[in-house]
Chains A and B, each alone.
Chain A
């Protein structure tokens, strides 16, 4: 059985100051709340194009508040 790594975009809300570049770079994963702070989608990033955009958002954040979390989901049928 192959273990597949799941990647999700995450924000450290303590570091985030609401610059909002992430929502411009990858609106597929980030929207902004009423005060300009990012609402980050919890869905796994499943294609390379999206992953590329997510990585750009991570690299662009002036506060270095974004990261890509990698998890290995627990095997479902055990």
Chain B
């Protein structure tokens, strides 16, 4: 099975809202510091007032958890006694996502401006850009951007790059702390948050690259400007990686006030009638085909009304004839293999679930097996040092609900013709190493 990763340099097609991706077209490569400063003006200074502006803006973290950004900053500020660390999390372990890589490749100075603003606001003297190995274009753009900044003589805290193997959970906050402190990018167990005790035991702000780019825009244009797009609870724009059964897969910047149908339309529409989609990446949720048109992007409505999550902004649309049960099983098997192997419930639970689901996908299982699957899903929930088992199980649970009718055919031993349909990205081979 070929591993289909998003291309290193992916086409940007501005969709419903264009802010982070405004400026020169993607073909122009990364935006130089002179052009960046000419287009957006110089970076304003950071400071305590910026936390208030962020609160008014309603900005929430774009890494997947959608936690209010200002709160994270405030808790690092509270824990800090003059030393703290700011991390730009651009590791993007999610195989279907390309938005952070794309953003750092094309607008490195926007992301770095956000990081420097955070450092100035929190009094951080260490800025880390956390990057997965394997994306040469991104590394080159970042290296070039850092050279430009030091040549321009900007007064800012030193910025260092920390690399990690491209693993699914390498971007989890405690794994970031481990790696940033010189260890492996595996999660650790701690009763204290990274905001209190993170890299080298210092209070650490770990913020997704896209979030920091939004910060750089909000610091320039203000919270009212930011709120002009999006909804009350989910203001602004967000980057989405759209793939699978769409005419033009790619990274799109969307207005969070829009609907999913608008996103699919921006990507050229579906190629064949879609039997469903995965929203939010491998820790996300499967969507019923009837939702693809009108589903809101507001993260609170997604969670409360639809029990789904925007996650890291991946939308992977199933092609006609493809089987959601089969695809969900492939994702589960990949995630089981991507376990750091540290916690019993994750190693045993995801392993057993993946074995059982492979029998279900092959129509070799019975209703007893699926009852066992449901029992195990409950059993592993919340029992890892990180949320890896929870994410894996959440994805599976949504597939079993959304594709319930089709699941019955599998359990009745009927052959499924959806196992070999092309057009849906397959999980890559599990990564190697943790450095």
A12 to B376, CA, bound (A): 20
Query: Chain B 189-209, CB within 8 Å of chain A: the 1/0 string?
Result: 101000000000000000000
- Is the beta-carbon distance between A18 and B191 smaller than 8 angstroms? no
- Is the beta-carbon distance between A13 and B383 smaller than 8 angstroms? yes
Chain B interface residue count, Cβ-Cβ cutoff 8 angstroms: 18
- Is the beta-carbon distance between A15 and B189 smaller than 8 angstroms? yes
A47 within 8 A of B: no
Which partner residue on chain B sits nearest A36 by CB separation?
A: B344
A32 to B352, CA, bound (A): 16
- Is the beta-carbon distance between B345 and A33 smaller than 8 angstroms? yes
Query: Chain B 343-361, CB within 8 Å of chain A: the 1/0 string?
Result: 1111011001000000000
Cβ distance B188 to chain A, nearest Cβ, rounded Å: 7
Residues of B within 8 A of A45 (CB): none
- Is the beta-carbon distance between A14 and B342 smaller than 8 angstroms? yes
Query: Chain A 1-24, CB within 8 Å of chain B: the 1/0 string?
Result: 000000000101111111000000
Determine which of B342, B346, B379 lies in contact with A39 in the assembled complex, contact meaning CB atoms within 8 Å: B379
- Is the beta-carbon distance between A10 and B191 smaller than 8 angstroms? yes
B397 within 8 A of A: no
Query: Chain B 61-105, CB within 8 Å of chain A: the 1/0 string?
Result: 000000000000000000000000000000000000000000000
Cβ distance B128 to chain A, nearest Cβ, rounded Å: 23
B385 within 8 A of A: yes
Among A17, A18, A34, the most chain B Cβ lie within 10 Å of the Cβ of A34
Query: Chain B 315-348, CB within 8 Å of chain A: the 1/0 string?
Result: 0000000000000000000000000001111101
By a beta-carbon cutoff of 8 Å, the part of chain B in contact with chain A is: 187-189, 191, 342-346, 348-349, 352, 376, 379-380, 383-385
By a beta-carbon cutoff of 8 Å, the part of chain A in contact with chain B is: 10, 12-18, 33-37, 39, 69
Further contacts, 20 of them, CB under 8 A, given A13-B189, A15-B189, A16-B344 = A10-B191, A12-B189, A13-B343, A13-B346, A14-B188, A16-B343, A33-B344, A33-B345, A33-B348, A33-B349, A34-B348, A34-B376, A35-B348, A35-B352, A36-B344, A37-B344, A37-B345, A37-B348, A37-B383, A39-B383
